Amino acid sequence: MPRFALLIDYDGTPFSGWQRQAAGQASVQGAVEAALARLEPGPHTIAAAGRTDSGVHATGQVATVDLSRDWDPFRLSEALNWHLKPAPVAIVRAARVADDFHARFSAVERRYLFRLVARRAPVTHDKGRVWQVLNPLDLSAMQAGAAHLVGLHDFTTFRSTMCQSKGPVKTLDEVTITEHAYVGGVEYHFALRARSFLHNQVRSIVGTLERVGAGAWSPADVATALEAKDRAACGPVCPPQGLYLTGVGYPEGPFG
């Protein structure tokens, strides 16, 4: 059966997450599989590079699916987008891939972006797409705190108690924090890159670094929390809105 990779963009607001849920709960996986069933008799099961949580968005999710027909990739993406309406999900590109290519297990890198806006007035256009705080944050302090997290560490402190990963040791390749103009305030971008992440690791890190930026924690407190290897030492876990899966890396990119 021909195997295809799909590059998927979605607004996670109305979904209970990527993964297919019980009846009555909308999921991104369920929406894409339902669209596939309109093209070929199902059921279909697709595999994704990352199982994003409820309310989390993606601009670069990747999924693989086996189909009976050898579709032209462009026509496949166009047909899926037609049947996905009106769900806020889009197939940006489709590509024919080797039979041993797997969206999850072939990935060597995942990239996330978290958007945090600081301003007094409520956000309007970005409601549900950013985390809003009221006061500006100390960028330099957050950058200093983030530096303690880069590299190979036991991330038990920044791991959900429901995490299903085999172990807490991960290599965080990058945490970059930048500041950008925003109407009536300022927007902070937290870009994180690693081969793989623990459940709630990104949200735990950003929530902790926000406390550093607000002056409630010192940068050194981040190192102390990491070394504690204790979930209770973590700062607040930030909300899912504002988190985006922006890209997945492979030894040979399926989309050129």
Question: What is the per-residue pLDDT across 100-148, written as a single tens digit (0 to 9) for each?
Answer: 999 999 999 999 999 999 999 999 999 999 999 999 999 999 999 999 9
Question: What is the per-residue pLDDT across 202-242, written as a single tens digit (0 to 9) for each?
Answer: 999 999 999 999 999 999 999 999 999 999 999 999 999 99
Q: Name which CATH class applies to 109-247.
A: alpha beta
Instruction: Give a three-class secondary structure readout of the chain.
Output: CCEEEEEEEECCCCCCECCCCCCCCCCHHHHHHHHHHHHCCCCCCCEECCCCECCCEEEEEEEEEECCCCCCHHHHHHHHHHHHCCCCEEEEEEEEECCCCCCCCCCCEEEEEEEEEECCCCCCCCCCCCEEECCCCCHHHHHHHHHCCCEEEECHHHCCCCCCCCCCEEEEEEEEEEEEEECCEEEEEEEEEECCCCCCHHHHHHHHHHHHHCCCCCHHHHHHHHHHCCHHHCCCCCCCCCEEEEEEECCCCCCC
Distance CA 40, CA 10 (A): 23
In the chain, CATH 3.30.70.660 sits at 109-247
User: Please, are residues 181 and 187 in contact by the beta-carbon 8 Å criterion?
Assistant: yes
More confident residue, 44 or 149: 149
pLDDT of residue 256: 78
Question: What is the per-residue pLDDT across 150-202, written as a single tens digit (0 to 9) for each?
Answer: 999 999 999 998 888 899 999 999 999 999 999 999 999 999 999 999 999 99
- Which residues are identified as catalytic? 53
Tokens representing 182 are: 């925003």
First to last CA, the chain: 22
Question: What is the per-residue pLDDT across 62-110, written as a single tens digit (0 to 9) for each?
Answer: 999 999 999 999 999 999 999 999 999 999 999 999 999 999 999 999 9
Beta pairing partners, 152: 171
In the chain, CATH 3.30.70.580 sits at 3-106
Distance CA 91, CA 25 (A): 21
Phi-psi map region of 55: left, alpha, beta (phi>0 left; psi -120 to 50 alpha): left
pLDDT band of residue 1 (cuts 50, 70, 90) is confident
pLDDT of residue 21: 78
Q: Name which CATH class applies to 3-106.
A: alpha beta
**Cα R_g (the chain), whole angstroms:** 19
pLDDT of residue 204: 98
pLDDT of residue 24: 76
pLDDT band of residue 41 (cuts 50, 70, 90) is confident
pLDDT band of residue 48 (cuts 50, 70, 90) is very high
pLDDT of residue 193: 98
